[in-house]
Structure 1
Amino acid sequence: MEKYCQECGEAIDESLNFCQNCGHKLHASSAQGTLIPPKKQPRTYSKKQKIIIGAAAALLVIMIGGYTWGKSYFSPEKTAERFITAIIDEDYEKVQDMTRMQGESISQAEAEALIALAKDEAHYINIETTNLEDFSYQNDLMKLTENGKHLFIFPKYLFSLVPQYADFNLPFENIETTFNEETFPAKKNDERNIVYGPLAPGKYTIHSTYSGELTEAESEDVVILGDSSSDTVYQDIQLDAESTTFHLYNENGSPIKNAYMEVNEEQIPFDESLNIEAFGPLNLDGSVTATPIIETEWGKVTLDEIKIEEDYYELTLNTVSKELMDHLSEVILLYGEEYVEAHAANDATIFTAVTENVRENFQDDFSYNIEYGKNFTGQLDKIEINYDELTFYDKNEVSVPANFHFTASTFHSDEQPDLEERIDTVALRIIFDAEEDKWLIDEANSYGMFSNTDFEATETLEGSQELHQAAKSASKPASNDVDAQVEEATLNYIYNLVEAINADDYELVRPYIKDDSALHGMQVDLVDRLAESGMKQEVIDATVTNIEEDGDAWIVTTDETIKKIYNSGEEETSDYNWKYTVESDGDGVSLTNIE
């Protein structure tokens, strides 16, 4: 039979004289034990033991309560409620904490856009229900998913957002765009088309800016990214700036080497088709000006400056460089002066500004005039040229219309000249002779005694208005009166000698001097000497005062007033009295001597 300690009531070992549990000494009577165990006494605890036991009990209560609270707080239902509250309160940080897109956190700009979308009147996101089932059913831009653990215990639920993409069509390149003032990288960037994404669903304020040399522009717009299938949203970006296009029409066929628009000292080149497809961007308000410049084989052409106010300009190149116009004007004026002189003399060798083909054609005409006694007296008053109508046939051949204004008369040998105004409208074909390094008249079509009232001149050249009297005719004298014939030959000599000196070309006066005469040698030397000195002369007046017959010759006395223009620019006008010897040469008369 078991024995029990009367002190603590625990069973004791019969072989011991003390209680192995509490150490109470057993008496003999006690050692003998009792059949019925004594009543167990309550255990006493120290203060420290009591504190530990109390803390453990409290912790257990807290843990049980915390688990119960956590299981409720982190539940899907409560997570949805907190998310909706964060949207309503515009708590951007909390929205960021409670959302993910493709496993990544969204930015504050995206959180702002998401909240703006949820509050939009179109109800892209329904925040009027806190019921998780309803919320999930009515909002297909996000899905509640488990994402890790809270406190290593509770499932962590976050809203996974459907990624969005924005495709912007840009009016021109180099436009910077921000979403809610934040810059996002582009998924695709092809010149004037740019795709942004992935972005969180949202209602974004997009701010587009451009800063260039010609203008600065900006715009602000709203784009809604709320496609549940992640389909791309397209939008055009509008800015208060545009590009303009230039086309250069080479109307006259100029041999163009280079063409460009000059803007702020910068050269914007035309392409091979003479186009500038996208010039700008800039404000089309006239604040930007551009100057078209065309470099040709014959110099630079600068067209009128343009104040850019349109998105398309067609420019017309219908003129040539001043350098080329000066060259052509010089040869056209020389041709006009030589025209009246050669026709008065019926001598094509006077021409120096024409091709050999033209000279031969004129000589055929003059042979006819001589044969049939047709004479010409006249002067060149002016020449009108329309360079806007000039056309290139190739780089060394052009055609240009011109009006030649003469005071002239064409008459028979037995008639007196009846001078009147005459206007010849012609199309001049002019070629560049590389060997002689000068332009020459190669063709003069439509010569006639008519006026073109529709002619518009871009340049007017003043003629010398020097009257060239008709010379002798081969078959008939210029006048039936011998004295008149002698007088005419003498005056032609005087005027043409000055022309020969000025042009350094003795051939101009040669028709009026007998080749083997003393005068011939003297005047050849005179022309060479004065031309070499650079002197020019002008006949102010020339009059035959007396004609005296001397056997087979005539002694002709003249009064002459000649202006001398020295190479230095100084001028001197002198009066002369000369006696010329004029002899018959069978077909007419010519000068042989001077005293």
Structure 2
Amino acid sequence: MKFCNQCGKEIKENAKFCRNCGQQFDKTVVKVANKQPDRTVSQRKRLTFKERPLKQRIRFSVLVSIGIILIISYFTLSYLWSADRLTKQLQTAIVEGDYLKIAEMIEFNNGNQAIGEENAQVLLKTINDGDLLEELLTHFNLQVDKRTSSTHDILNLKQTSYFLGFRRFKIIAEPYYISVRTNLNNTQISHMGQQGITIESNDVIKKIGPFVYGEHNFSATYENEYVSLELSEYLYLSYSPRELDFYFDVATIWVPEGVTLNNSKVLLNGNETDEEIIIGESSIGPIDPELDYKVEIITTFPWGELSTGETDVLHDAQDNYFHYQLSEIMIDDLLGNLTSFYDQLFSAYRKNDLSQLSFLESDFYSDLEYTIDDLHHSINNEELIYFQDLTSFGISDDFLHVYYDEDTGFYNVIVNVIEEAAEEYQWYSDYLKDPYYDADYYQYHFAYQNDQWNVLYRTNDYRYDDERSNYRSLDYSGDSIQLGTVKERVESSQDENELIASVTVNYIDYMVEAINAGDYSLVEPYIKSGSLLEDMQIGLVERLVEAGTTQEVIYREVIDIEQDGDQWFAYTDETIKINFESGDQESRDYNWKYTVVKDGNNFKLTNIERE
């Protein structure tokens, strides 16, 4: 027999290596026949036998441990991920009223966001009040078994992963959102007593959520140094429209048109307010209507600041109690622009050329262009003598209206203007009567363009009888306008018929002036004292003044003169416009027969008859 000299194992006679330890053989093979191995060989053999089981035991232990872990994990995951476990936990939490546990278990379907304690309370109440637990559990089982593809409005089971043949589930809630609006800036919105969000502006709609299906309590609170307000609303969230409007019924200070809250400081009782107390573009508040307030608005415009001044708030009459006050600098700028406008306007009248007035609003420009051109046409045909003069003008400091023109992108202002002026039309005559100066009242519209004011147009101002108006006036140094040929009046060398025609025309013109001014003395020089006509016309002036009626001469002409002894009869063709106090107007045509007599060196009228 042969034995391996390395491990002592018996080997074949012609083996080239030991099958037990791998030792290769050459001449070192020990051959022993029918002989037991000596002690040395046996000892080595025993030592080698002890090392082999240790390695095998280690390998076996590792494999066994892995197997045990896999088995434990299998059953653990099977338990933890099972839908049955989740539904039983939810059932227990609902039965026990444990909304904290419900808040931990359920997430919203649109992410990994937990529903939170407030939503958990709503969910618990909704399920209990509607006796919906059994319905939900049945729905969960259908979803696990894949026997339904529909979703429940309240809760659903959702598979989140698949591992080693197991499906993992979680309970999800359908998310619901609401749109919230309020009429007050910086309103605090709370849900189930817990403060949620702030709505900074009353002109925005804020979307809040998510919330669970069911009845929710929302509240809105607002507070400033004058008031503390709160509103509450219950809203049942489902698939119906979900909107909340928190409208606080509050007292406010109304801001009239022409005063803007944009780019403004608002001082209430001397204290500057912030955006919390501004409501939109036309109100300041909310305020306590039982308190007294003084308000001042200071607004920054492209030309500088304007203030309304501090004014008492009139709670019962908030229609016209404060407005911007003109600053001294602004008044000077506007008066300077008006001076330039009058210079350009008078030049246009003289030359029949409006090229310097191209900055005017188109309709106003067209009206002036037509008026001036028609005027020059009549003058060129020797039908008219025209006179216009301006002695002074002023701006009222008690009224200023400011507005922004979105079409042009410029700020415009409206101010009240008074003009001490005269304008006379003398038709079909070579003579011009003495001009009558009176106050004219207008509202001028200005635009602030390229760092300067420009007149846009003007309209009549009917506040001329307002005694509160106070005007800052300026003398106008420009020359008057006189167009047409005027002959020098030399009565001593004139023909009698011409003098009779002249006195008759003057009587017509000044009678109208006397009626309009309520002053008979204006026409008195043309009527013989003590005559029937004097009594008639004194009474006429008084009656028309009392009735508020005024007149305007449209046309008058002496068409014939007849002499009858020491008196003459002047026949006229007249058109007079009547302006009634109601605002109605009417033009009337007349044919009169006037009786004229010589009174010293002058001709005067004594009677009038309808022809």
TM-score range, shorter chain: 0.3 to 0.5
TM-score by length of 2: 0.35
TM-score by length of 1: 0.36
Larger radius of gyration between Structure 1 and Structure 2: 1
